[in-house]
Amino acid sequence: EDTQVAKKLLFHYQIQKPLISYHQHSLLKTKEKILNLLKEGENLALITDAGTPVISDPGADLIFFLYKNLPETKTIAIPGPSALTAALSIAGILANQFTFLGYPPSKKGRQKFFQNLLGLMRPLVFYESPHRLIKTLQALEEIFKPAYPIIIAHELTKIHEEIFRGSLEEAKEYFSSPDKKRGEFVLILP
């Protein structure tokens, strides 16, 4: 995604390697460049700005493309945190069954997406971006009612990490504060 994030980490560990930016708007030529490097025998690593690559991340499209065009591609998973599992591990709910929904649609199908959640009888987990969080909380309030409980994990594994537990109405008020409008959010409807 953003190579500046990776550069900071690599610089800290004194690793000097070339980086290729790959994001949701990457063109076919970027995929082909990566494919050709693999064909030449290069070892590559897929990293992400935050969380685990391919979990609600554009890397999933790249991995699919590589397997389709070079089936003998060997991949090795390096275990690490994902916001999904980190949030569930500290949410304080029974999470042996849950539904992960990725990011809600930003425009088309958004209202229907939220309405379809109503009948699901297990914890619902999804990601949301800072600039859409309040609109999402408002949409959830309309469907689930303002008093419905929610858990929001904010800035996991970072210096300002916090877990919010309260109602949708309380969450909307709390996260309306300007200092809360950055970072990553994991929303859990228990």
Question: In 10 A of CB 74, how many CB atoms?
Answer: 7
Which pTM was predicted?
Answer: 0.74
pLDDT at residue 1, rounded to an integer: 65
Helices (H) and strands (E) in the chain, counts: 7, 5
Edge to edge, what strands does the sheet with 124-128 contain?
99-100, 124-128, 185-189, 149-154, 162-167
| 92 and 62 inside one domain | no
| 105 and 25 inside one domain | no
Q: What is the mean pLDDT of residues 93-111?
A: 91
The boundaries of the domain holding residue 45 are: 3-69
| 171 and 102 inside one domain | yes
Identify the top-confidence range among 16-20, 90-94, 168-172: 168-172
**Where do we find the tokens 């999470």?**
95
| DSSP single-letter state for residue 107 | S
pLDDT tens digits, residue range 36-77? Answer: 999 999 999 988 877 777 777 788 888 899 999 999 988 877
Residue type, 100: F
Q: Are strands 162-167 and 124-128 parallel, antiparallel or unpaired?
A: unpaired
| 55 and 95 inside one domain | no
We report the CATH number of the domain holding residue 114 as 3.30.950.10
